[in-house]
Amino acid sequence: MKNITIGGIALSDYRIVWDETVGADCAARTGGIRCLNPAKLMEGDRFYTAAETAANDLRLWIDDTCGVTLEASGAADSVPTKGCIVVGALPWHGVDTASYGDCRLYAENGNIYIDASDILGLAVGASYLARFLGDACGEINDTDISFTSSAQTRSEYEHDVEALLVPYRFTHNVSEKRSTVTHKREVLEEPNGRAFIIAHRGEHKYYPENSLEAAISTWRCGSDSMEVDIVKSKDGVWMCMHDKSLTRTTNADEYIGREGFPDSPMLCDWTYEQLRTLRLVDTYGKLTPFIIPTLEEIFTAANGRIFLHLDKGFSYDDDIFPMMDEMGICDCVYLCNHIKLDGIIERNMRYADKGFRMPSMVRTWSPEESVDTVPKILENADKMTPAAILRGDYTAYSETDFAVAEKYKGQIRVGAWFIRRFDNEELWREGRERGINIMMTNHPLDIIRLGI
């Protein structure tokens, strides 16, 4: 345990509190996200506000970096007593909001405040404070704790993805080796290797799902692949979006039927230019400055850095393969849901003369298909990646599927989707014990930190 005193109060005597109204928009807009607290497994569905998420992260980081376990709880709408680290402190100062991504960290009157109104700003402040305390020792004056941060503009990183300053940059580092798609390919091709991590809709704890920022964060946090969903605009541009409707993940309600915008909420009824007017909503229901990216933009960000697990694109041959060819990204993209074993073999043979084997994962839809398909993948190992997704969701696995995973352990990678209420440490560990070493998750950062 570190011996740290802040403003005359021992760090061990501090407690972390958060304003329960900050980042509490999820119930109205998105339904929220069940954020895992790895220190204590939550049972059932558990929705967190942005401030609570940042507070839980801060508690874990301080535990890891300082060896000090602090109490953490929601706080009443009043000025806290001394010895509090206040996450989402704006309401206590009579301020309703701040610009998205902005953060101010400071100490005053025996408390430490993180002023921000969204997950990005809150997480930046929490991460910086954790690193500061991890590096500090002895007595700390209030004036020593001072940090401000402003959100970046898209122009700062859209052509240079390394310029995006992710909120966890102070507390999470990824090796240079793990940052390359070459390393990730070696992992995917090695059946006995570490878990191959797929970020479901990108790393969307801190950024909106399927956004350019989520794609970059997928790479920066050390994930191997991003699952990305695509829908085509009215004028034929592939956009990255899970839903056919725009209402859950954007502010389309403000535009529908007004000033020349479509009456329909469906993405396919909007042109590219109209779609770029919209702004994405983050996981907690907060409107962000981020825009809907095109598939081409995601391809550019991913190229050489991560794999892309392409979903919901049903016109691969006509539209997407030519784009992949032109951009030289064929060896970084694999298709799963709607292309069968024979289709993957045929496609890979078409690309064999280019000097590489396209990555692939074959999905099965029944126990019988799992039994039949896995040996065929191994029979064609010279033509395809030794990898299969059995039945999709982990909890849909039958004992027959687990028997297949066990029988071919060490010969083929077997994957599952740990999403929705099944995305927790207990099931991650159970899955690994039962032969699952491709893991799709909403919490890639947590799995990577745990070393599962």
Give me 299's structure tokens.
């391809």
pLDDT tens figures, 375-406: 999 998 888 899 999 988 898 999 999 999 99
Contact 121, 149 (CB under 8 A): yes
Tokens 């064609």 correspond to what residue? 380
Same domain, 207 and 193: yes
pLDDT tens figures, 26-54: 544 444 444 444 434 334 456 678 898 99
**Where does the pLDDT of residue 346 fall: very low under 50, low under 70, confident under 90, or very high at 90 and above?**
confident
Same domain, 409 and 344: yes
Same domain, 205 and 146: no
Same domain, 95 and 218: no
Looking at 233-294, list the stretches that DSSP marks H as alpha helix, in order from N- to C-terminal side: 272-275
Please provide the DSSP assignment of 90-121 as one string: GGGGT-----TT-EEEEEETTEEEEE-SSHHH
CATH number, residue 424 = 3.20.20.190
pLDDT tens figures, 284-337: 889 999 999 999 999 999 999 999 998 876 677 778 888 888 998 888 888 766
Interior angle at CA 417, CA 287 and CA 381, nearest 5: 130
pLDDT tens figures, 186-218: 999 999 889 999 999 999 999 999 999 999 999
Q: Is the pLDDT of residue 57 over 60?
A: yes
Same domain, 147 and 211: no
- Average pLDDT in the 238-265 region? 95
CATH number, residue 12 = 3.30.379.10
| β partners of residue 147 | 105
Say how far apart CA 439 and CA 389 lie, in whole Å.
9
| β partners of residue 9 | 6
Q: Where are the beta strands (DSSP E) in 324-435?
A: 333-335, 362-364, 387-393, 413-418
Supply the DSSP symbol for 354.
G
Same domain, 212 and 355: yes
Last residue of some domain: 151, 170, 202?
151
Q: What does the pLDDT read at residue 34?
A: 46
Strand 362-364 to 103-108 pairing: unpaired
- What is Dmax (Cα atoms) for the chain? 70
| β partners of residue 178 | none
Same domain, 206 and 117: no
Contact 336, 312 (CB under 8 A): no
At position 300, the amino acid (one-letter code) is T
- Within 8 A by CB and 6+ apart from 409, the residues are 191, 435
Same domain, 110 and 202: no
Helix (H) or strand (E) holding 167: none
Number of structural domains in the chain: 2
Say how far apart CA 334 and CA 224 lie, in whole Å.
12
Parent domain of 187: 155-450
- Average pLDDT in the 14-22 region? 84
Same domain, 373 and 442: yes
- Average pLDDT in the 416-422 region? 86
Q: Is the pLDDT of residue 25 over 80?
A: no
Say how far apart CA 219 and CA 399 lie, in whole Å.
34
The overall average pLDDT reported for the chain is: 88
Same domain, 411 and 438: yes
- Range of lowest pLDDT (76-85, 233-242, 286-295): 76-85
Q: What does the pLDDT read at residue 39?
A: 38
Query: What's the whole-model pTM score?
Result: 0.93
Q: What does the pLDDT read at residue 433?
A: 92
CA 109 to chain centre: 37
